Structures are given as structure tokens and as C-alpha cells.
Homo-oligomer: A and B are copies of this chain.
């Protein structure tokens, strides 16, 4: 392909390393004279239709270093889900600016946007190379072994639960933590990565992949509490009942409407507070606390996984490399070694393999009871965190 301009955008919810992917794209693009200007789209597709770009090849190494270390999307993101008309406008801007390389960092919706625009360009005979760089804390994209963004968020969960379990040991009771991840349980499962002793929490984990009734949940909690005198629980925000209906929806249906409209049933704290109420009311346990981790999970500053940063950057680099040879695709990671020999290689897959599709946690990662993770999950996820802090204990010391 002749020399042309390129565009890169960051889409969807920010992560701890989406900027590292951006920096990867920028660094690699600088190496290829085929890419004249590299435009950064301000607020993703929204900036593309509005023709709002900045010049990324001019950024200094110092700026790039800071950007790669910073959480969230430095170009700005967008929740727009472009339809055909929207994509047609984007393509107009691409043509006007002679943009023939399109790099889009995001989840399955972003892969779909790249896919639509790619097809549209081909139909109109406009030569375009469209590449998707995976990103999501939910870890729910197909093909790739795992998603950039997940390792850092997983590290956050591990650090959170290490501290939370130590807190609960110190002041025993029930602690419930509601964790992000939409319809995939990967992020909730990561809460188990901080467990270092048999009686460490989280003692129970619940995933959208396995529907659980409120009775089963309460029975589980009661069992752990009777055994240990305390219980730490990690629950997916998208947790559902055995009939597949999500818990939050059931709570809303079972609750009377507030005439003043003051209580937000869709609010962030509702599931946690509801579960705490159930444990208090039905199990008669006095000290029950519940937290909803919220946006901290995807944006907390200064807590990147070193492995995640490196891989996110490499995914950006590989997107540009692939674009020099191929016309479209999504970057995926294939695991080539495990444990201390953990390693990945980077491959190209078709956009259509990733677009609009989601992955669930495989059965082998969930225990038979449906309330915990397996060793296979720990082996899968631990290397992605770059390591988690040790937790101290004095349990082995005899009473005197």
C-alpha cells in the first residue's frame, strides 16, 4: 500500500493498561514510513465522526512513558455503538484525510466497529487496513488467551481481597464484596488470587456462569461461618439465580416501589446491601458488611500489573506490524508456557471472530459446588497479575 495516514482510538470502559496499548501503536507506527501521520481520535468514534484528532507521532518519549504508566484512556473514550450510518460518516472522514490504517483498542463492540467499517471500505473500493487491539477488564473476548486490562484489574481484586480478608480476620464477621465483570466471572474469580492459606478468604465466590439460588447462597455462608466464625464472599455483579434471572433484577421485582423515588434499585450499592440484609435477617449474624468495588477496579492509579502493561503494549505493537502485511484482524495472545515459564505469542485472528461475541469462564475454572475456583484458574490467572503482595500472619505461634 502507498504511504497514507493512520488513526488510533480507545473505546469502551477505561482500563489500567489501555494507554500502554496506545503507546505500543504509536511506537511501532513511528518505525514505519508507510504511516505518514498517526492521528489520535478524541473520544474514539465520536472524534472520528467529528473530525477531532491530535498528532501522535510528535509525542516525546517522556510523554509516552508517562502515558503508558497512566490508567484510563488518554485520548478519551466513547460509549457510542456505531451503526451503518455512523460508520459511513467515519469512512467519509477517513477518505477526506487519506486515513488507510485504522487501529481500534477496545472490547467486542470495538472489534465490531472495525469490522463494519472494514467491510464498508471494501465495498466502496477504498483500501483500508482495520485492526482491533483487545482491551477489557472483564476478560471476555474470544480467541485470545486473556485480555489486556484483565491482569491489572485482577491484581486490584487480589490486593483488595488480601486486605479485606486480613480485616475480616481481625474483626470477624461476614464480608460481601460485589465485583465487576458483566456476564463473565473472570474478575470475581481473581479475588481468589490473594489466598495464601487454607482458611484465607474469599471463602465463597459466585459467578454468572453458575446460577445460584438465595437459599443455596445463604446455606453456603452459614456453613463457612459455623466452621470459621467468619466468611468473606466475592459475588459477581451479574450473578443470577438458577433460572438465569440476574439477582439484581429479582431484588427489584421483590421490593416495593418507593413513592418518593428515592431508592435507586439500579444503584451501585443495592446488590451488596441486599445480600447483607439477607445474611443478617435470615442467618441472624450480627456483624455483616458489604462493599461494591465499583470503578476503582478499572481505573485505580499506580497499580498496574507489570505483565499486563508489557502485553498491552505488545498488542499495540503487533497490530501495527500485522497491518503492514494483512488487511484486517484482531490481535490475540496464545499462551506458550505456564508457571514460571509463562509466555505468550501474538497472533492475528479475523475481526469477525471477536466482534460482538463474549466468552464465559470455562467449567474447569469453577469448582464442583459452583462457589469457588479451581487450581486450573489460579494457574491461568496468577501470571497475569505480575505477582500479588504477601499477607502476614502469626497463626502458627502458640498461646502462652
Contacts and interface: CB of A to CB of B under 8 A. Distances in A.
A19 B394 CA distance: 12
A388 B268 CA distance: 27
Interface in A286-319: 289-296, 298-303
B166 A55 contact: no
Contacts of A268: 269, 272-273, 276, 289-292
Of A162, A166, A256, A392, chain B has the most CB atoms within 10 Å of the CB of A392
A70 B295 contact: no
Specify how many copies of this chain sit in the oligomer: 2
A274 B392 CA distance: 38
Contacts of A383: none
Given A256-B258, A301-B194, A390 B70 contact: yes
A172 to B, nearest CB: 8
B264 A301 contact: no
Contact of A170 (B73, B160, B270): B73
Of A59, A78, A272, the most chain B CB neighbours within 10 A belong to: A272
A181 to B, nearest CB: 16
Contact of A269 (B55, B267, B303): B267
A262 interface: yes
A1 interface: no
Interface residues of A, number: 88
Interface in A132-173: 158-160, 162-164, 166-167, 169-171
Interface stretch (A37-45, A327-335, A342-350): A37-45
A270 B260 CA distance: 15
Interface string A255-266: 110111111100
Interface stretch (A61-69, A83-91, A121-129, A370-378): A61-69
Contacts of A59: 394, 397
B301 A277 contact: no
A262 B277 contact: yes
A391 B13 CA distance: 18
A77 interface: yes
Contact of A399 (B54, B63, B390, B392): B54
B392 A70 contact: yes
A160 B37 CA distance: 35
A82 interface: no
Contact of A37 (B53, B301, B303, B400): B400
Contacts of A261: 277, 281
Interface in A28-47: 37, 39-40, 42-43
Contact of A398 (B54, B70, B77, B289): B54
A203 interface: no
A32 to B, nearest CB: 19
A327 B392 CA distance: 32
A236 interface: no
A174 B167 CA distance: 31
A168 to B, nearest CB: 9
A391 B55 contact: no
A251 interface: yes
Contacts of A294: 289, 291-292
Contacts of A336: none
A238 interface: no
Given A74-B170, A76-B171, A264-B277, 18 more contacts: A42-B399, A54-B399, A59-B394, A67-B392, A67-B394, A69-B390, A69-B392, A70-B392, A72-B163, A78-B171, A158-B301, A163-B295, A166-B299, A167-B298, A263-B270, A263-B273, A264-B274, A301-B389
